[in-house]
Amino acid sequence: MSTHQYDFDLLIIGAGSGGVRASRMAASFGAKVAVIEDRYMGGTCVNVGCVPKKLYVYASEYRNAFKDAQGFGWSTSAPEFDWPTLRDNKIEEISRLNGVYDTMLGGAGVTVIDGRGRFVDNHTVAVNDQQYTAERIMIATGTWPYIPEFPGSEYAISSNEVFDLEEFPKRMLVVGGGYIAVEFAGIFNGLGAQTTQLYRGPLFLRGFDQDIREFAAKEIAASGIDLRFNSNIATIEKQADGSLTALLEDGSSIVADAILYATGRKPHLQNLGFDNVDVALNDNGTIKIGENFQTSESNIYALGDITGGMELTPVALAEGMAFAKTLYNNEATTVDYDTIPTAVFCQPNIGTCGLSEEAARKKYSDITVYDSEFRAMKHTIGGRAERTYMKLIVDTASDRVVGIHMAGEDAGEIIQGMAVAMKAGATKAIFDNTIGIHPTAAEEFVTMRSPRVK
């Protein structure tokens, strides 16, 4: 397959989820492939994203679990949390995973090049003092946390730094209203920090189903997080004792030991040499792509978060697979972006798949909504007041389930299975004819019979 005039058939800049998958699969189809990475082998997800975040979520859930245990007859002394143990065990696990990725790429025959790739022209990339040529080049550098500039913004940290803080912040201030902000507020609250979350809008998790957003806000506030909507920081001042004072736009102030800004991410395109290639960008700075992830430069491609689509690891993996199959295995493959499930690992977890009620009302002439709210069986003895909310949205004409939403323990695990049914086109009648597993929370999805009154 190799062409003699190039060093490689495919050269990928970025060893994140999409880049690694595309490189491995292309190599397995016979292409000569190299991948360039300057910092995080495995990308954001493995190093400063979903993997360490989920480990910290697990850690944050033990405090409530210890309390729950007493109701089930377990006599426990007050547990103590040790931040360095969690942090250092996380570092060890991520280091192990980095090695797994290196081994995986090497085993697939992919050449790994350390450094920041920079375009020299549309077929040439320079890394350090060496140049490499390729028939096709893929950009898969992902996105980077963005902290807006304002007086004192240099004292704020991003999700890149929050995992490895030298000391555990007893007072944590989280700014933002998306996945990352909501999840880290839950993490630090669960680990024992006095936690405040600010969001400039009236309600966080924009784009999610409105009922889920409102239910989550109620439960998250009940968990002990000080939720403040329509709030924003004007300045941050560092005090002599190292603490930080956030002065808000409304004139009030909050004192914290650390301030995490989770207000968005931007394409990681710095120092890529874009002046030397004709790669067009969208208005928001993401890379514009067409069929088969092709950019405006015909032999340069882009996939993953950097293209402005759904910023989810499984989506980048699917895109990497589709790219490799199409271009290196003569197997035309596209990614179906409809009905993609996702989860927010806050407390309680949120899982969702398909359309929100608001989106469904815009798309269909008539919908039927089923929902249920209850206290999970586990908490009736454990004593926790936390509640669960479930919701089904049905296109009335076809009886097809077009949206499914849950806020409650293990929501992500439950919605993954429900997503398979939705992808297969399951109707509400099929849900109704499915026998539930008793006693579980998940069975509620197949026992909701009465539609919500409009």
pLDDT tens readout for residues 399-424 = 999 999 999 999 999 999 999 999 99
On the question of pLDDT at 312 being above 80, the answer is yes
pLDDT in the model for residue 72 = 94
Rounded to an integer, what distance in angstroms lies between the CA atom of residue 210 and that of residue 224?
A: 22
pLDDT in the model for residue 4 = 60
pLDDT in the model for residue 3 = 46
Indicate which residues carry an active-site annotation: 438
Structure token pair of residue 170: 């007893």
Mean local confidence (pLDDT), 97-117: 95
On the question of pLDDT at 184 being above 70, the answer is yes
pLDDT in the model for residue 76 = 75
Over residues 49-64, the pLDDT tens digits come to 999 999 999 999 999 9
Mean local confidence (pLDDT), 344-354: 97
pTM of the model: 0.95
Nearest by Cα to 22 from 375, 396, 330, 319: 319
Rounded to an integer, what distance in angstroms lies between the CA atom of residue 324 and that of residue 301?
A: 11
Of 1 and 227, the structure prediction assigns the larger pLDDT to 227
Mean local confidence (pLDDT), 210-239: 98
On the question of pLDDT at 367 being above 80, the answer is yes
Over residues 133-164, the pLDDT tens digits come to 999 999 999 999 999 999 999 999 999 999 99
Over residues 188-222, the pLDDT tens digits come to 999 999 999 999 999 999 999 999 999 999 999 99
Upstream peptide bond of 439 is cis (omega within 30 degrees of 0) = yes
pLDDT in the model for residue 23 = 98
pLDDT in the model for residue 78 = 76
453: pLDDT confidence band, cut at 50, 70 and 90?
Answer: confident
Q: How many CA atoms lie within 13 A of 347 on its CB side?
A: 27
79: pLDDT confidence band, cut at 50, 70 and 90?
Answer: confident
Mean local confidence (pLDDT), 379-388: 93
The whole-chain average pLDDT of the chain stands at 96
Upstream peptide bond of 314 is cis (omega within 30 degrees of 0) = no
pLDDT in the model for residue 282 = 96
On the question of pLDDT at 261 being above 50, the answer is yes
Mean local confidence (pLDDT), 334-363: 97
Mean local confidence (pLDDT), 435-448: 96
Give the residue carrying structure tokens 């000391």: 167
Over residues 11-30, the pLDDT tens digits come to 999 999 999 999 999 999 99
